């Protein structure tokens, strides 16, 4: 789906202001594949925002296929849109160094940004904005954190974010394949549906999901686990750990 159409769809469901928040704009300046962007076989460099919009699109498609009530759909799509909101620059490539020095990985930083907790003052977080949109930050975070105390109606949706076939992995693997010119099958429009009273893979999508497993193996073998990139990430982490300090947390919304 074209970026403009994605934005229009989410603006209608969630409100345009969320998409223009400084936290989401920051994701647009953070690389999705990190050091792999510089690999000779990389065709294009995606951002974390592009990936997040892609995951949210899959969530919106699933919400329609599952005929979710609007309130549940808004919480679910928001969680998917914000699932990577806490990523550091260069994403996973340098995360080990950032987490070691700053004491938190991107998941924990995401909690700070969504809930207004930790080192990020509430007024600088997304919590007030989400509340103005009648979206409960605690429920958004509960979906992302797989909170066992989530309301029963949201529990099945949390599984779409943590199951072996989950929205994040589906989008991320296809994006990495596209960025590295690896032929990949097109995802069907409706992947999930109600199967015997539970959320599962829709029958028309089963063949495509079988092919996805093969694609995932290829992407890990030919992209993510390239030996030269593993060495590059290790060296990058050494440099990052040497150069950064806790002062980063004081202006995290501008740190990209």
What confidence tens digit (pLDDT) does each residue in 150-165 have?
A: 999 999 999 999 988 8
The domain containing residue 100 runs over which residues? 3-254
Whether the pLDDT of residue 7 is over 90: the answer is: no
Q: d(Cα 170, Cα 86) in Å, to the nearest integer?
A: 20
pLDDT of residue 1: 58
Torsion of CA 56, 52, 136, 113, to 10 degrees: 180
State pLDDT tens for residues 75-85: 999 999 999 99
Q: What pLDDT was estimated at residue 6?
A: 82
Q: Do 192 and 200 touch, CB atoms closer than 8 A?
A: yes
Number of domains in the chain: 1
Instruction: Report which secondary-structure segment, H or E, holds 195.
Output: strand 192-195
Residues facing residue 198 across a β-bridge: 195
* pLDDT > 80? residue 43: yes
Whether 245 shows a pLDDT value over 80: the answer reads yes
* CATH code assigned at 69: 1.10.3210.10
Tell me which of 15-19, 31-35, 104-108, 152-156 is least confident.
15-19
**What percentage of the chain exceeds 70 in pLDDT?**
99
With 0-12 / 13-18 / 19 or more C-beta atoms within 10 angstroms meaning exposed / middle / buried, residue 65 is middle
CA–CA separation, 144 and 157 (whole Å): 10
Q: How far apart are the first and last CA of the chain?
A: 26
Give 229's contacts (C-beta < 8 A, 6+ positions apart).
35, 36, 39
């Amino acid at each position: 789906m074209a970026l403009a159409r994605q934005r229009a769809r989410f603006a209608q469901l969630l409100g345009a202001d969320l998409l223009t928040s400084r936290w989401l704009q920051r994701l647009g300046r953070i690389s999705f594949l990190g050091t792999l962007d510089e690999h000779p076989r990389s065709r294009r460099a995606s951002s974390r925002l592009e990936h997040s919009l892609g995951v949210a699109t899959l969530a919106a498609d699933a919400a329609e296929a599952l005929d979710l009530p609007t309130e549940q759909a808004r919480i679910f799509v928001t969680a998917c849109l914000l699932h990577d909101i806490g990523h550091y620059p260069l994403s996973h490539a340098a995360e080990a160094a950032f987490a070691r020095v700053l004491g938190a990985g991107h998941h924990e930083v995401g909690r700070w940004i969504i809930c207004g907790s930790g080192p990020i003052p509430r007024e600088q977080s997304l919590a007030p904005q989400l509340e103005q949109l009648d979206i409960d930050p605690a429920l958004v975070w509960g979906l992302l954190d797989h909170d066992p105390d989530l309301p029963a109606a949201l529990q099945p949706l949390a599984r779409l974010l943590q199951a072996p076939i989950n929205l994040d992995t589906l989008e991320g693997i296809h994006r990495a394949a596209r960025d590295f010119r690896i032929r990949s099958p097109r995802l069907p429009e409706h992947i999930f549906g109600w199967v015997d009273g539970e959320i599962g893979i829709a029958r028309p999508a089963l063949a495509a999901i079988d092919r996805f497993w093969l694609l995932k193996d290829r992407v890990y073998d030919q992209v993510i686990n390239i030996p030269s990139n593993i060495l590059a990430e290790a060296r990058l982490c050494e440099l990052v750990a040497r150069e950064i300090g806790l002062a980063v947390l004081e202006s995290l919304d501008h740190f990209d």
